[in-house]
């Protein structure tokens, strides 16, 4: 009797590109209302691409901060990096990856910032303290500064703003440092907003040298002590974050005209969290700082006006 060969394994059927982008949109709308609001100001062409990038970043972060993070090992991140390489090769492995594979084809970009972000997640596997700001800066670059680099290919640059009329062959200025600064500022903001949540997980992201500078101990932090030492420490941290926001502002005018308003809106909304922390008397242990929806909407005209200024 003729023996027929075994049937080849069936390939997993993935969703369509449009369906994948919609999955990414729902993810960002659920987990980051502030950022989602800003993306709605982008053009219809660019908006889904930013959703795809955000969805990948969010899912990467969930590997070490999500509900199943206890199961994450270095090998998990190795596999995730292999999946990333498949995306850039045009061979997505799951439904969310379909959108990012389409994005990197339509907006060619460097894979390195994505790899750097995975390296940042590796740091979270074995580090729960940072002695100096220099050490923390590297972490912030990897997990957040990279996002600006990922997004630049989608946002685009204003070549008329970047080159002199008499020298059209001049290469446009790419605000790399400013893009990274915005990511750093947002991550520093996250750290200050989430101090209590991180402490409950045994993590301290505020540099230990800064705690020592204000004579505030790890034990004080774990107990949620709010006194003048803590307030002085938080004022110092907030001022540092605002310096990075200021640096980031200088790069927005170099972006394409249709990208400036949403970036200004995102910067305004996120930096507003720092003011809420101040209003809460620096209580980041039991009061979560967030910008109310009405305040975000009220800030949009100002963000638009800033986007019109070169």
**What pLDDT shows up at residue 135?**
98
Q: Which residues contact 57 (CB under 8 A, 6 or more apart)?
A: 117, 147, 150
Tokens of 180: 């990274």
Q: Are 242 and 182 in contact (CB under 8 A)?
A: no
Residue 170: pLDDT band (50, 70, 90) is low
**What pLDDT shows up at residue 4?**
40
pLDDT at 114 over 60: yes
Residue 5: pLDDT band (50, 70, 90) is very low
Write the pLDDT tens digit of every residue in 282-301: 999 999 998 888 888 899 99
Q: Which long-range contacts does 270-276 make (Cβ < 8 Å, 24+ apart)?
A: 270/34, 270/185, 270/186, 270/189, 271/185, 271/189, 271/241, 271/242, 271/245, 272/296, 272/299, 273/189, 273/192, 273/193, 274/189, 274/192, 274/238, 274/241, 274/242
Q: Which residues contact 61 (CB under 8 A, 6 or more apart)?
A: 121, 143
Q: Over range 41-63, report the average pLDDT.
A: 96
**What pLDDT shows up at residue 46?**
96
pLDDT at 3 over 50: no
pLDDT at 159 over 90: no
- Least confident interval from 11-20, 92-101, 166-175, 289-298: 166-175
Q: Are 84 and 115 in contact (CB under 8 A)?
A: yes
| Angle of helix 112-126 versus helix 74-88 axis, rounded to 10 | 170
Residue 173: pLDDT band (50, 70, 90) is confident
pLDDT at 200 over 70: yes
Q: Which domains does the chain have, with CATH numbers?
A: 12-109 (1.10.600.10), 127-310 (1.10.600.10)
**What pLDDT shows up at residue 68?**
87
- How far from chain centre, in Å, is Cα 82? 21
What's the rounded Cα separation, in Å, for the pair 47 and 38?
10
pLDDT at 218 over 80: yes
**What pLDDT shows up at residue 160?**
78
């Amino acid at each position: 009797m003729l023996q027929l060969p075994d049937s080849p394994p069936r390939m997993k059927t993935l969703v369509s590109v449009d369906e994948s982008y919609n999955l990414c949109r729902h993810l960002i709308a659920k987990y980051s209302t502030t950022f989602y609001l800003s993306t709605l100001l982008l053009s219809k062409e660019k908006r889904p691409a930013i959703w795809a990038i955000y969805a990948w970043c969010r899912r990467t972060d969930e590997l070490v901060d999500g509900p199943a993070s206890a199961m994450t090992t270095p090998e998990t991140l190795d596999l995730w990096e292999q999946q990333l390489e498949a995306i850039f090769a045009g061979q997505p492995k799951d439904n969310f990856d379909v959108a990012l594979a389409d994005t990197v084809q339509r907006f060619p970009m460097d894979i390195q910032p994505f790899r750097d972000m995975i390296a940042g997640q590796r740091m979270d596997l074995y580090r729960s303290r940072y002695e100096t700001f220099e050490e923390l800066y590297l972490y912030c670059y990897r997990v957040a500064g990279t996002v600006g680099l990922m997004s630049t290919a989608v946002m685009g640059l204003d070549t008329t703003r970047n080159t002199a009329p008499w020298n059209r062959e001049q290469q446009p200025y790419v605000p790399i440092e400013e893009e990274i600064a915005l990511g750093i500022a947002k991550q520093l903001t996250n750290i200050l907003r989430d101090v209590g949540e991180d402490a409950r997980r045994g993590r301290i992201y505020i540099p230990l040298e800064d705690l020592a500078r204000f004579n505030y101990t790890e034990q004080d932090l774990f107990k949620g002590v709010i006194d003048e030492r803590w307030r002085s420490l938080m004022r110092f941290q907030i001022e540092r974050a605002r310096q990075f926001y200021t640096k980031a502002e200088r790069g927005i005018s170099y972006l394409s005209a249709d990208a400036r308003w949403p970036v200004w809106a995102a910067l305004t909304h996120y930096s507003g969290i720092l003011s809420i922390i101040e209003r809460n008397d620096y209580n980041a242990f039991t009061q979560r700082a967030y910008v109310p929806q009405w305040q975000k909407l009220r800030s949009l005209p100002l963000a638009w006006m800033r986007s019109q200024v070169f």
